[in-house]
C-alpha cells in the first residue's frame, strides 16, 4: 500500500502479522531473529529459543491476514492496511474497532497455528495434546486414537509472544489505554481458540466507568470514520475505485460502497477452462470459454 504524503504511520514492532514478509524463508540461524523481521525486542529471545516454531508463527500471520481480508472484503474498510505492517496507518493505531479486530485475529491465528504444529510434531517443545472428550459415550469397542492439538502450549506460547509487545523496557507491564486495549483483544483472540464454537463477537465500545469486559468481547475506544473519503488523520483510504455490486442493498452494494458518489461500469473479458473431460488414461481435456463480466467501480 502506498502511504499518502502527510500520513504519519506508527510502527508497531511485534504484531505477528509483520512476519508475513518472511514467508517461504527458512529459519536456520538465531541471527534470523532480528528487529528487521518486525519483531519487538522482547520477542527476539522467544524467537531464538523457538526457532523451530518460527515458520509456524509466520504461517499464522498469513492466516490472520487472509482471514481479515476475506472477512472484510465487501466493507469500505477492507483490511488492506495490514499489508504495510510493521508500519501501521492511523486506522490501526487510534484505538478503533478495526484495530481491535486485527489484534484479536492475529492472536487467534497464532494460538491456532502453534497448537496444530504441536500435534504434527514440528517441535519438541510440545507434543500431542489430549484428545477432545467425546460428548456422547462412544461405543464400547470404539477408542479414540491419534493426537489432539496441544492447546495449552499454544495458549501459553501465544500469550508470551503477543504480550511481549506490551511490556516496557524496564520489564513492567504497560498501562496506557491503548496497551490495555491491545492486551484485552489479544486475550479475546486466544479465547476464540479455547471455546471453539463461539464466534468472536464484534464489538463492544469501551464505556467510561466500565472496567471489566467479557472475555469474548473485543474492546475499542475510538469511533471509526465511515471510511468513504481518504483522510490521513483517521487512516481512511477511501473507496474510490472499489468494486461494487449494482442492484443490491447493504454491504458491497454500489449505493453503500460509493457513499453517494456514484459508480462507473465497464466490462471485462475473461477466459477460463471449461467443459473439462477426463480421458482414460490419464489426461484431462478442457475447452476455453470466454465470459464477459459487467463490473462496477466507485467514482
Ligand X SMILES: *[C@@H]1O[C@H](CO)[C@@H](O)[C@H](O)[C@H]1NC(C)=O
Chain residues binding ligand X by CB under 6 A are 22, 25-29, 32, 73, 78, 80, 237, 242, 265, 294
| CB of 124 or CB of 268, closer to ligand X | 268
Angle at 106 between CA 8 and CA 98, to 5 degrees: 50
Cβ proximity to ligand X: between 78 and 245 the closer is: 78
We find the least distance from the C-beta atom of residue 80 to ligand X, in angstroms, to be 4
Q: Which residues of 79-102 are buried (b: 16+ CB within 10 A; e: fewer)?
A: bebbeebbbbbbbbbbbbbbbbbb
d(Cα 104, Cα 97) in Å, to the nearest integer?
10
- Asked if the peptide bond before residue 142 counts as cis, ω within 30 degrees of 0, the response is no
Write down the least CB distance from residue 69 to ligand X, Å: 6
**Shortest CB 245 distance to ligand X, Å:** 11
Q: What are the C-alpha distances in Å from 179 to residues 12, 166, 176, 219?
A: 12, 6, 5, 12
| Minimum gap (Å) between residue 280 Cβ and ligand X | 41
Residue indicated by cell numbers 447493504: 250
Which of 168, 265 has the CB closer to ligand X? Answer: 265
Minimum CB distance to ligand X, residue 56 (Å): 12
Which of 19, 180 has the CB closer to ligand X?
19
Summary count for the chain: helices (H), strands (E): 6, 9
CB of 246 to ligand X, least distance (A): 6
Residues 27 and 59: beta-carbon distance below 8 Å: no
Burial of 253 (0-12, 13-18, 19+ CB in 10 A): middle
Q: Exposed/middle/buried for 192, CB within 10 Å: 0-12, 13-18, 19+?
A: buried
Which lies closer to ligand X via its Cβ, residue 16 or residue 182? 16
Whichever of 266 and 280 has its CB closer to ligand X, that residue is 266
Amino acid at each position: 500500500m502506498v502511504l499518502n504524503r502527510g500520513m504519519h504511520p506508527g510502527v508497531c514492532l511485534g504484531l505477528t502479522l509483520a512476519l508475513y514478509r518472511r514467508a517461504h524463508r527458512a529459519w536456520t540461524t538465531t541471527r534470523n531473529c532480528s528487529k528487521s523481521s518486525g519483531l519487538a525486542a522482547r520477542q527476539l529471545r522467544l524467537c531464538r529459543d523457538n526457532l523451530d516454531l518460527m515458520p509456524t508463527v509466520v504461517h499464522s500471520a498469513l492466516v490472520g491476514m487472509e482471514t481479515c481480508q476475506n472477512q472484510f472484503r465487501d466493507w469500505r474498510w477492507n483490511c488492506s492496511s495490514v499489508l504495510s505492517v510493521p508500519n501501521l496507518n492511523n486506522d490501526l493505531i487510534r484505538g478503533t474497532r478495526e484495530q481491535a479486530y486485527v489484534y484479536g485475529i492475529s492472536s487467534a491465528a497464532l494460538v491456532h497455528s502453534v497448537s496444530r504444529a504441536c500435534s504434527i510434531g514440528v517441535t519438541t517443545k510440545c507434543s500431542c495434546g489430549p484428545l477432545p472428550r467425546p460428548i456422547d459415550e462412544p461405543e464400547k469397542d470404539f477408542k479414540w486414537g491419534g493426537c489432539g492439538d496441544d492447546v495449552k502450549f499454544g495458549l501459553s506460547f501465544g500469550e508470551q509472544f503477543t504480550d511481549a509487545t506490551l511490556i516496557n523496557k524496564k520489564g513492567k507491564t504497560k498501562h496506557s489505554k491503548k496497551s490495555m486495549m491491545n492486551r484485552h483483544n489479544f486475550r479475546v483472540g486466544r479465547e476464540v481458540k479455547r471455546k471453539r464454537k463461539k464466534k468472536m463477537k464484534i464489538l463492544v465500545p469501551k464505556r467510561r466507568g466500565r472496567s471489566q469486559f467479557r472475555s469474548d468481547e473485543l474492546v475499542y475506544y475510538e469511533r471509526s470514520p465511515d471510511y468513504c473519503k481518504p483522510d490521513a488523520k483517521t487512516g481512511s483510504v477511501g473507496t474510490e475505485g472499489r468494486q461494487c455490486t449494482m442492484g443490491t442493498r447493504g454491504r458491497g452494494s454500489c449505493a453503500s460502497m460509493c457513499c453517494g458518489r456514484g459508480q462507473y461500469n465497464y466490462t471485462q473479458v475473461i477466459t477460463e477452462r471449461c467443459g473439462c473431460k477426463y480421458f482414460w488414461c490419464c489426461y484431462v481435456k478442457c475447452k476455453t470459454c470466454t465470459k464477459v463480466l459487467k463490473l462496477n467501480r466507485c467514482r
